[in-house]
Chain A
Amino acid sequence: MKLVIINYGAGNIKSIQFAFKRLGIDAILSDSPEEILAADKIIFPGVGEASSAMNMLKETGLDVLIPQLKQPVLGICLGMQLLCEYTEEGNTKGLGVFKTNVKRFDNNVKVPQMGWNVIKELKSDLFKGIKENEYMYLVHSYYAEHCEETIATTDYGLNYASALQHKNFYGVQFHPEKSSLAGEQILKNFLAL
Chain B
Amino acid sequence: MLTKRIIPCLDIKNGRTVKGVNFVDLRDAGDPVELAKQYADMGADELVFLDISATLEARATTLDMVLHVAEQVNIPFTVGGGISSVEHVDALLHCGADKVSINSSAVKRPELVNELADKFGSQCVVVAIDAKEVNGNWKVHLAGGSIPTDIDLFEWAKEVEQRGAGEILFTSMNHDGTKNGFANEALAKLSTLLNIPIIASGGAGNVQHFVDTFKDGKADAALAASVFHFGEIPIPELKKELKKHNIEVRL
Provide the main secondary structure of the chain A interface: mixed
B28 at the interface (CB under 8 A from A): no
Docked complex: B144-186 residues within 8 A CB-CB of A: 166-167
Provide the main secondary structure of the chain B interface: loop
In the complex, which range does the number of interface residues on chain A fall in? 35 or more
| Nearest chain A residue, comparing its CB with the CB of B199 | A114
Q: How far is the CA of A175 from the CA of B74 in the complex (A)?
A: 10
A21 at the interface (CB under 8 A from B): yes
Contact A114 B1 (CB under 8 A): no
A139 at the interface (CB under 8 A from B): yes
B250 at the interface (CB under 8 A from A): yes
Given contacts A47-B123, A47-B124, A180-B40, contact A114 B166 (CB under 8 A): yes
- CB contacts (< 8 Å) of A11 on chain B: these are 93, 120-121
Given contacts A12-B98, A15-B70, A49-B121, contact A115 B75 (CB under 8 A): no
Contact B74 A115 (CB under 8 A): no
A61 at the interface (CB under 8 A from B): no
**CB-contact partner of A14 in B4, B95, B220, under 8 A:** B95
In the complex, which range does the number of interface residues on chain B fall in? 35 or more
Mark contacts of B67-85 with chain A using CB atoms, 8 A cut-off: 1 yes-contact digit, 0 otherwise: 1001110111000000000
**CB-contact partner of A116 in B2, B71, B74, B118, under 8 A:** B2
How far apart are A75's CB and chain B's nearest CB, in angstroms? Answer: 17
Residues of A within 8 A of B (CB): 11-12, 14-15, 18-19, 21-22, 47-49, 107, 110-118, 135, 137-141, 155-156, 175, 177-181, 183-184
Residues of B within 8 A of A (CB): 1-5, 40, 45-46, 67, 70-72, 74-76, 93-98, 118, 120-124, 166-167, 195-197, 220-221, 250
